[in-house]
Structures are given as structure tokens and as C-alpha cells.
Structure 1
Amino acid sequence: MSGGHGIVDVTDAGAFLARLVRLERAALVRLRPAAGGVRTALWARLPWEVLAVRTVAGASPGDVTVAADQLLAELAAGRAALPARQDAQWRWALPPALSRRVETLPVGELRRLAEAAAGTLREAAQHGVGGRAVGQRVLRDALLDHVAVVVTPDDEPDRPVEVTQRMVQGLVRMGFLGTSRDRSDGDGVQVRAAGRWVGLVGPYGAIWSQKATNLVVRPIVAHAKG
């Protein structure tokens, strides 16, 4: 199609896409206008059934979905063309634009939770659970479903907000916490809520998870709002 991707911040966008493609070669990326149209929000679904988003400089050509590896290749080659659109392949709802902060967690705590889960997986893979061997996929899924943090909002104590390891792993594996050298533990990661959605907003991007619905909506040719 005619027109370009509009991304100006090639370094940031390239880092996001490179991590995404390493996790899933056939991943899609959805480009949406942000910040009054002067920035682009890059959305992607990770293998852990959560959504990742990073906002970069440059005006999006609209609400479009393309193959992540193809867009990465365009950026790496210094080209401005938008790869062939694959809008109909995007099948996941997006969180509402407005959300509320319910807690701020230390960056170091999120790193610790991710490392602890990885250590548990290694230990169980080597020695089993309770002396019994357990399949890698079963172990992985059980760990990902584990609720790593429960936040009880002061204004809604009867509606706790649960943060699963799926979200923690997404935040870490996508590089949204940065490194221990360029970020202090005091910067914090916001836990945000919007209806059935829960978000972890780190220094370099956010992870969102929708409770109970598994994020799936009907296939569409043109993107709906959200």
C-alpha cells in the first residue's frame, strides 16, 4: 500500500520489535496514533496472553496492523514504507484509554518476582515437584497463572487487583524495566486498573491483561475502537 509507517524514533521502535520477534517470529504489531497524533503506540500480543505497548516518536499512518518482523526489517534498512496491512489478523481487544493508578511497586520487586519464578521453573524441571516429574509446559503455565501481587485499593477494598506472573514476565522480557544500571528501584511501576483490565506501567512500556476473557474478540477487517 502507499504511505509510510511514520515512525521517527527508529531505535526505540526497533528495540521493541526485536524483542517481540525473538519471543514470537510471526508476531503482529498494531500501530495507533498517540499523544495527539505526534507519537505512535505499538501494540503486540505476547505468547503469555498479555498485551505489550510502547509509545515512540512519529505520527502513525492510522490504526493499522502489520507483521512485526517486516516492520523491523523496514526500520533496520532505513526505509519508510509500511508493510502490507494485516488488520483482519488482529483479534484482541485493547484496554480503555483511561485507567486509574491503584499502587506503585518498586522496580526491584518486579525483577525479584521474575527471577524467583525463573528459579522455581529451573528447580522443578531438574528435581520435579514433590519428587514427581512434571512436564515443562504444565510447570510454565502454572507459574504464569500464579498471582504474584495482590493490591487492595483504599477506595475499593472489596475489589482487589491481581497481578499475575504473565504480566511480570512480559514486563521484564520486553525490557520495560530497563536495566539495573540505568534505572533506580525508586522509579516504580504503576499498577493500573480499567474495568476488567489490569496494567503494569514501567519506565519503558506497559503490559495489560484482561481478566477472564482471554483477550479474544471476533476477527475484523477494519479495526474497531479499542
Structure 2
Amino acid sequence: MSGAATAPGHGLEGVADAGAFLARLVRFDPATVVRLRPVDGAGRTALWARLPWDALVTRTVAGRAPGDVTVSATDLLARLESADAALPTRRDERWRWPLPPVASRAVEQVPAGELRRIAEAAAGALRSAAAHGVGGRAVGQRVLRDALLDHVAVVVTPDDASGEPVEVSQRLVQAVVRMGFLGPVDAAGAAQVRVAGRWVGLVGPYGTAWSRKVHELAIQPRKDHPKV
């Protein structure tokens, strides 16, 4: 008589790092999913997720997942907190967003303190506009939020004179700050601006945020994408 099949394990060994990433995700959206993608030849796994304001975030942790799988972030966090090594129920059908290309190029470094200042100024502007309106006129909270997130927070010009300026949206700034990718508030350091095809990324010490280039977000309607 053959025994019952053993459920695969999640394979994650960097429990503290993965837990910190997942805890912030579920704070923004308890129903969100996380995609686990093993990094070839590295014994590590890249965790991917989409934030409610249309930015992709990723952090690489120790341990190798059993494959390219998507699960509930809340369920995986619970497994890690209880030292349960089993992989939660797969939710692959819920991943609907493309990922940026693997190959990317570095453009510039932006000080962590400057990114925190930009994020806080944006939050203050949102609070003020919500309370007092814009130009004396009341504006819906969602309209305000979307306009603020689409705002170009930083423009970086590559050293190569032929290169186009790279626009870093407030979506990316909010992602690296609110996901804790810059480290402690009093930490120095910087985030690296990278470009991968039609994507712009901000790479912090503890994770990376990616978003489509600002002009594409402005002209392309939102739609579901197949898993790639």
C-alpha cells in the first residue's frame, strides 16, 4: 500500500527576511498574493508582489521554493510564524501581471534621506488637499491619490549624453519607503535607479520596486496580463 503524497514545502530559510516582506504586504492588503521564483544556482528565492498602487516589489531570501508558485501572502506568513514548512495552497491563477526583464542597467543613485523626504512631503500634500481641497475646490480622495502617485518625483539624467532622462514616479518612492526597503529611518545609504526595457526600478538595501515608465502608465488602460 502506498502512502499519501507529501505536500511540498515552501523551502524558505530566510524566515525573518521573508516575514518582514510579507508582514508589510498584508498590512496594505490582507488578500494579496505573493509569487515565489527560485533563483537559478543561488539557493535563494525571489518573492514578488503587487502593491495596491500599481508597483511591483521584490525581495530575495535564502532557501529555494519548490518552483515558480503563487500563494496567499497571509497564508505564507502564518506558515512562517508557526514554523510550518508546508507550502500553502497554490493560487497561481491569481497572478496576472508581467514582470520586468531580468537584464537591467544602472542609471544613478538617489540618497535614502532624499527619498524619505519626498515620500513624507507627498503624504503631507495628500492630507492637506483632502482637508482643504485644491484651489478651494473639493477633490475626491482617490483622484488625489492617483494624481499624486503619477507625479514624477525624481528625474535622473544618465551619464551617457545620448541617454534619455529617466523619470521616477511617486509610486516607486512610496513603494521603497513603505515596504522598508531603505532600512532604518536614521540609516544613510542610497537606492539605485535602474532601467529594464519599459520598466524603471528603485533598488534599496532590502528590496526593489518596479513600475512601468510614467508615460506608459498615463496612456495605457489597465488590464489583466497573463503570467510570464
Q: Is residue 200–residue 207 contact of structure 1 (8 Å, CA) maintained in 2?
A: yes
Q: Is residue 91–residue 218 contact of structure 1 (8 Å, CA) maintained in 2?
A: yes
User: Is 1:51 matched with 2:56?
Assistant: yes
Displacement of 1:214: 6.9
Counterpart Cα distance in 1 of 2:200 and 2:207: 14
1:80 to 62, 82, 85: 85
Aligned letter for 2:154? V
Counterpart Cα distance in 2 of 1:206 and 1:215: 22
What secondary structure sits across from 2:61 in the alignment? strand
1:154 is matched with which residue? 159
What secondary structure sits across from 1:176 in the alignment? coil
Q: 1:46 to 1:135 in 2, by over 3 A?
A: same
What secondary structure sits across from 1:36 in the alignment? coil
Counterpart Cα distance in 1 of 2:142 and 2:8: 42
Question: Size of the alignment, in residue pairs?
Answer: 218
Displacement of 1:29: 0.2
1:29 is matched with which residue? 34
Root-mean-square deviation (CA, aligned residues, Å) is: 1.7
Runs of 4+ off more than 4 Å: 213-217
Q: What is the aligned-residue identity percentage?
A: 66
Counterpart Cα distance in 2 of 1:81 and 1:215: 35
Q: Is residue 98–residue 225 contact of structure 2 (8 Å, CA) maintained in 1?
A: no
Q: 1:205 to 1:216 in 2, by over 3 A?
A: farther
Aligned letter for 2:185? S
Aligned letter for 2:211? S
Q: Is residue 45–residue 65 contact of structure 2 (8 Å, CA) maintained in 1?
A: yes
User: Is 1:193 matched with 2:186?
Assistant: no
Q: Is residue 98–residue 226 contact of structure 2 (8 Å, CA) maintained in 1?
A: no
What secondary structure sits across from 1:175 in the alignment? coil
The normalised TM-score by structure 1 is: 0.91
Displacement of 1:158: 5.2
User: Structure 1: which 5+ runs fail to align?
Assistant: none
Displacement of 1:37: 3.9
2:111 to 106, 110, 128: 106
Displacement of 1:215: 7.8
Counterpart Cα distance in 1 of 2:158 and 2:221: 24
Counterpart Cα distance in 2 of 1:164 and 1:196: 14
User: Structure 2: which 5+ runs fail to align?
Assistant: 1-5
Displacement of 1:32: 0.5
